[in-house]
Chain A
Amino acid sequence: MTNSQEHISHTKLIWKVFIILSIITAVEVFLGIDKPDFLYLTSFIGTNLLNIIFIVLTLVKAYYITWFFMHMADEKKNLRRAVVWTAVFLIAYLATLLLIEGGYIYDVLGPLTKWNY
């Protein structure tokens, strides 16, 4: 219990992380409303540049939440890897397969959809 007495407060760090998360969200909302053409009307690895920016910003937010709010930074390396590597690998794997499959279904069924009446 002596440990808890010595425990230093992380309040400053918490507010810093909060400000970072708020700024990222504000940027996302601004881009989502404005949708600048030079990002939105592009084609880049199966989607457009704007969406890539959104995904990257989301991953940055996820990093800050996991590392500083969930205190992953203070956990032992083994626990961190057991959780993070598993999730990252399985989710990336699943998402890749499902999106490739979705694109394939569109290639096959899209031309058969009737749009003229």
Chain B
Amino acid sequence: MEVTTATDTNHSTWDGGENKPLGASYGKMMMWFFILSDALTFSGFLGAYGLTRFKFIESWPIADEVFTHVPFLHGVSAPMYYVAFMTFILIFSSVTMVLAVDAGHQMKQKKVTTYMFLTIIGGLIFLSSQAWEWKTFIKGEYGALQLNDGKIIQFVDKTGHQIALEDFAVRSHKERIQHTKSNGLWFVSESKLPPFSVNEVINGFKSNPDITIRTEQLNLETKQKIIIPREKAMGFLNNAKAVVKGANLKVNEYGKTAFADFFFFITGFHGFHVFSGVLINIIIFFNVIIGTYQRRGHYEMVEKVGLYWHFVDLVWVFVFTFFYLI
């Protein structure tokens, strides 16, 4: 008795047939869908930022006053230039990436190697720029006072420009000693002391008749922070709780703490993407050098990692707009 066997089983039927509705390889398709879901994650974060900003529309920090620093230029107020440079670096590394993909299509191993290398360098420059940007933001510039209800009070001279605490605060002789493990309880640590105490700042304010304060509140007509006349300033200062220098997850000298939180979270999450992108790029770079893709006959891996890299650039374009421009 003969066994009937389906000798003409069409394998491709089980694989989904010859009909390829998306016309892309499995890996590339999945990279696209990963990018789609990652894009939704980022838009969730940026959407939350937008919600919080609309919620505090009358008191949100002005980005131009926060990010004004450029490396090696101390004291020069240059809003946007540095972050524009970072954007440019990322766009340029996208260009070298797409040139690597293009060279891969033509099976030019040498060219792919060069362009992948340049892409990695671009990513590293971006990452170090971002680390510098974080450092500057955490360190702060002018310093401010925090009121009991959490609002931030900044000091301005008579032309309305912000001035730093050390420009007017009077140092008193009463030294408050930082608690360290070597001079106190070994199992207790204390966070770094602010440069001045609240009283030193208030005394300095009293002895400088030219300065006054401003709150976080914006004049929605001129989009500038409202300056409080000096006569009314003491009413605010009597409510002061702490001296703030710089920004962290709990307090922010530039205004709303949520601004700092979102800044750290969104640029941090993006920076993590850049970091993993650089790592993946390095792996692919070495694979290109040892000729893996040359033997395989195509450079689709370069194309896939390229998709991810361009996506990172794409996200930065949006972060740049919503954090620094708007």
Interface residues of B in 11-29 (CB under 8 A from A): 21-24, 29
Say yes or no: A54-B326 contact (C-beta < 8 A), given A41-B221, A62-B314, A91-B40: yes
Bound complex: CA A70 to CA B94 (Å): 10
Give the size of the chain B interface in residues (CB under 8 angstroms): 71
Contact of B317 (CB < 8 Å), options: A5, A62, A87, A114: A62
Say yes or no: A83-B54 contact (C-beta < 8 A), given A9-B106, A41-B223: no
Name the distance in Å between B111's Cβ and chain A's nearest Cβ: 10
Q: What is the interface residue range for chain A against chain B?
A: 35 or more
Tell whether, in the assembled complex, residue A4 and residue B88 are in contact, meaning their CB atoms are under 8 Å apart. Answer: no
Say yes or no for B44: interface residue by CB 8 A criterion.
yes
CB 8 Å contact bits of A39-75 with B (1 = contact, 0 = none): 0110000010001001101100110011011110001
Give chain B residues whose Cβ lies under 8 Å from the Cβ of A7: 105-106
Interface residues of B in 50-96 (CB under 8 A from A): 50-59, 64, 79-81, 84, 87-88, 91-92, 94-95
Bound complex: CA A6 to CA B52 (Å): 53
Name the distance in Å between B310's Cβ and chain A's nearest Cβ: 5
Tell whether, in the assembled complex, residue B22 and residue A82 are in contact, meaning their CB atoms are under 8 Å apart. Answer: yes
Say yes or no for B264: interface residue by CB 8 A criterion.
no
Say yes or no: A79-B239 contact (C-beta < 8 A), given A58-B321, A94-B44: no
Bound complex: CA A33 to CA B82 (Å): 12
Interface residues of A in 4-58 (CB under 8 A from B): 4-5, 7, 9-11, 14-15, 18, 21-22, 25, 28-29, 31-33, 35, 40-41, 47, 51, 54-55, 57-58
Contact of B57 (CB < 8 Å), options: A32, A55, A87, A106: A106
Bound complex: CA A84 to CA B29 (Å): 13
Tell whether, in the assembled complex, residue A83 and residue B35 are in contact, meaning their CB atoms are under 8 Å apart. Answer: yes
Contact of B99 (CB < 8 Å), options: A11, A41, A61, A90: A11
Say yes or no for B139: interface residue by CB 8 A criterion.
no
Tell whether, in the assembled complex, residue B22 and residue A28 are in contact, meaning their CB atoms are under 8 Å apart. Answer: no
Name the distance in Å between A84's Cβ and chain B's nearest Cβ: 9
Say yes or no: A61-B317 contact (C-beta < 8 A), given A33-B79, A69-B98, A95-B47: yes
Residue positions of A touching B, CB distance < 8 A: 1, 4-5, 7, 9-11, 14-15, 18, 21-22, 25, 28-29, 31-33, 35, 40-41, 47, 51, 54-55, 57-58, 61-62, 65-66, 68-71, 75-76, 78-79, 82-83, 86-87, 90-91, 94-95, 98-99, 101-103, 105-106, 109-110, 113-117
Q: Can you offer 28 A-B residue contacts whose CB atoms are under 8 A? A: A1-B297, A4-B105, A5-B106, A11-B102, A14-B98, A14-B99, A15-B95, A25-B91, A32-B64, A33-B79, A54-B321, A55-B326, A69-B94, A70-B310, A71-B101, A78-B21, A78-B23, A79-B24, A79-B29, A82-B32, A86-B36, A87-B40, A91-B40, A94-B47, A95-B43, A98-B48, A102-B53, A117-B235
Residue positions of B touching A, CB distance < 8 A: 21-24, 29, 32-33, 35-36, 39-40, 43-44, 47-48, 50-59, 64, 79-81, 84, 87-88, 91-92, 94-95, 97-99, 101-102, 105-107, 147, 149, 215, 217, 221-223, 232, 235-236, 238-239, 297-298, 303, 306-307, 310-311, 313-314, 317-318, 321, 324-326
